[in-house]
Amino acid sequence: MKNLLLDSRLLWSIRDVTRRPLEWFLLTVSLTLITAIPATALLLVQGLTGSAANILADSPSLVIRKVDPTGWEPMPVEQSLKAVGSVPGVLRAYARIWGVVTGPEGPLTVVTPIATGSGDDSKSPTPPQSGNVLIGAGAVTGSADSHLTLSGHTTKTFKISGVIDPKSAMASHDLVVLNPLDARRLLGLPAGYASDIAIDVFHEGEETAILPDLMEALPWPVRITTRSENLKFLSGSYARRGGIIILATIPALAAICLVVAATVREHLGNRFEVGLLKAFGWTTADIVRHFLFRSLFIGVPAVCIGLVIAYTAVFSPGVQWPGVMLFGWQGRAPALQLHMGETVLTLIQMVALTLVPFLIATLVPVLKVATTDTDTCFDRGVL
Amino acid sequence: MKRNRPSKPPQDRLILAAILLAGAVLFCLLAVSMVIGFMGLRPDAVAEDACQQFVRQHGLNTTAIIPAGRYLRHSDGRMPNVDLRYDPRLPMADPNAGLVFRPRPPRYFSSTQLLSKSQTEMNKTQ
């Protein structure tokens, strides 16, 4: 490293770069943008999909909803649990009460803590008292009023008894936790009915295996969603949204083509400079090394800046721009803390996609010129 | 064989080049170590644990990254006018679900309005 830093030929190459500061600046900006934009899109889709998969790892294996030709229908809890409980492979079945209601600043999702029905309620949190409500960070109105008015089947005002831990914002941002009795009233569910039934199975493979049995066990038409279907749907929707950013990379790809073309042209026009260096006694290897150092000095920091920008934009704690720009949140987007596993491969891919073409575009013409005769360089050189 | 070229190029502005090189190397090393260090700290793990716990306690099957009420929020949130008794990968428009778009009010069709008026008058005359 010491020898490399003290190698005067390396310093000479850098000095050569500083002779043309405008070219240096423009190339750096181009390479930075070309790296940052696609890297942001790729990292964002990867982060969103990874987060969804991790967060929903413990979500119900199957969700069963009763349907009729017009849409969803409430499910009778006792009858449904009895029917699905008789299906072999069902580990745990419980009713879920949830729905979308209108809050003071937009739609909110009402949920209730689950009750397993099998007596194992040790892990379930205590539901808020009747008339009280626990709200997510996105449902906080900002006013000093500690009451929240929700409009669903009926309109009711609740006392805010607490705010859900903001660390769980990716799951609870616009959620409102209610007492089951209040939730039923608000959503218009009759007593003894629930929005749907959730089921846990022992192994992922059983999710699809027991579907026919479940459909047969229930005396009405149902729509069953498996966890893997759910994750595929979510990752698909994230990828579509990320595709919007990737569309923005089309000009970036055009830009890299222009940069490469300009670099090739510039180095083909360097015949005179190469001839001069050869006349001074530089070998072909010296000349190639000189141009390689020049390109690396411009390219490596530019790509690093691009990757740092992309990484910071996607993974810095509490980023909100993806919610606002891609998912339509208005003013109160959730603070995301995306999953950052397996990002090294994406970063390496981005380096390969940007730096390698740039280096090739630099070295191929230089190799061609450096191996020609010195006289030829001067003959065809631009004086 | 003795090399006939000078052992060192001229030293003009090479100090500046050395500073720039050191700066660039330092920046790249810092950037790489920042990314690796950040990944090693895994600040996302705390948030994911909290989210997982909340999901478990409330039996959720979706995240709150997409706003409530949006079609994309729920994977099972298909269009209500599609008959869900059939596989959603082969959706069928349900004939009983009514029209997707409500018919326009008659005021936009003056000719229709005139026609209906004339028919009413004819009926009255008859």
Helix (H, G, I), strand (E, B) or coil at A62: strand
**Which H or E run contains A41?**
helix A21-55
Are B62 and B73 contacting, i.e. CB atoms less than 8 angstroms apart?
yes
Rounded Cα distance between B49 and B46, Å, is 5
pLDDT attached to residue A94: 92
Q: State the smallest CA–CA distance between residue A138 and chain B in angstroms.
A: 10
Q: Under an 8 A CB cutoff, do B51 and A55 touch?
A: yes
Residues on chain A touching B82 (C-beta within 8 angstroms): none
Residue A50 and residue A66 share a domain = no
DSSP structure class, residue A115: B
| pLDDT tens column, A217-241 | 988 888 888 888 888 888 888 888 7
| pLDDT tens column, B36-82 | 888 887 778 888 899 999 998 888 888 888 888 777 776 564 544 44
Single-letter residue type at A10:
L
| pLDDT tens column, A157-176 | 999 888 888 888 899 988 99
Residue A345 and residue A251 share a domain = yes
Looking at the complex, does the CB of residue B93 fall below 8 Å from at least one CB of chain A?
Answer: no
Residues on chain A touching B35 (C-beta within 8 angstroms): 307-308, 311, 347
pTM to 2 decimal places = 0.78
Domain count of the fold of chain A: 2
Query: Which residue on chain A is closest to B72 by alpha carbon?
Result: A237
pLDDT attached to residue A199: 92
A103 sits in the region (left: phi over 0; alpha: psi -120 to 50; else beta) called: beta
Most confident of A20-29, A372-381, B27-36: B27-36
| pLDDT tens column, A4-13 | 545 677 888 8
Please spell the DSSP secondary structure of A13-36, one letter per residue. HHHHHHT-HHHHHHHHHHHHHHHH
| pLDDT tens column, B96-125 | 555 555 555 555 444 555 555 656 666 766
Domain around A79: 60-225
Q: Which of A175, A205, A225 is the last residue of a domain?
A: A225
Q: Which of A225, A242, A274 is the last residue of a domain?
A: A225
Rounded Cα distance between A169 and B65, Å, is 9
Please report, for residues A148, A157, A176, B64, the alpha-carbon distance to residue A141 in angstroms, rounded to integers and kept in the order given.
Answer: 9, 14, 13, 17
The answer, yes or no, to whether residue A95 has pLDDT greater than 50, is yes
Output the six-digit token pair for B22.
């050191």
Output the six-digit token pair for A83.
């029917």
Query: Which of B3, B13, B32, B54 to probe by mutation at the A interface, max A CB count within 10 Å?
Result: B54
| pLDDT tens column, A357-369 | 888 888 888 888 7
Residues on chain A touching B47 (C-beta within 8 angstroms): 167-170, 337
| pLDDT tens column, A293-332 | 989 999 999 999 999 999 999 998 888 888 888 888 887 7
Residue A280 and residue A132 share a domain = no
Please list, in sequence order, all residues whose beta carbon lies within 8 angstroms of the beta carbon of residue A153, skipping any fewer than 6 positions away: A185, A186, A187, A188
Output the six-digit token pair for A88.
């072999």
Residue A243 and residue A116 share a domain = no
The answer, yes or no, to whether residue A24 has pLDDT greater than 90, is no
Residue A74 and residue A213 share a domain = yes
Residue A342 and residue A247 share a domain = yes
Phi, psi of A117 (to 5 degrees): 80, -10
Roughly how many angstroms between the first and final C-alpha of chain B, as a whole number? 125
Residue A134 and residue A21 share a domain = no
Residue A212 and residue A90 share a domain = yes
Looking at the complex, does the CB of residue B26 fall below 8 Å from at least one CB of chain A?
Answer: no
Q: CA torsion angle for A230, A234, A236, A241 (degrees, to 10)?
A: 170
ipTM: 0.82
Q: Which of A180, A205, A225 is the last residue of a domain?
A: A225
Mean pLDDT computed over A25-49: 88
Lowest mean pLDDT, pick from A45-59, A166-180, A231-245: A231-245
Residue A12 and residue A36 share a domain = yes
Rounded Cα distance between A364 and A261, Å, is 12
pLDDT band at A177 (very low <50, low <70, confident <90, very high): very high
Residue A261 and residue A167 share a domain = no
Lowest mean pLDDT, pick from A172-176, A249-253, A354-358, B26-30: A249-253
Rounded Cα distance between A321 and A334, Å, is 9
Residues on chain B touching A51 (C-beta within 8 angstroms): 44, 48, 63, 65
Average pLDDT, rounded, for chain A = 83
DSSP-assigned beta bridge partners for residue B9? none
Mean pLDDT computed over A272-298: 86
Residue A307 and residue A158 share a domain = no
Residue A272 and residue A192 share a domain = no
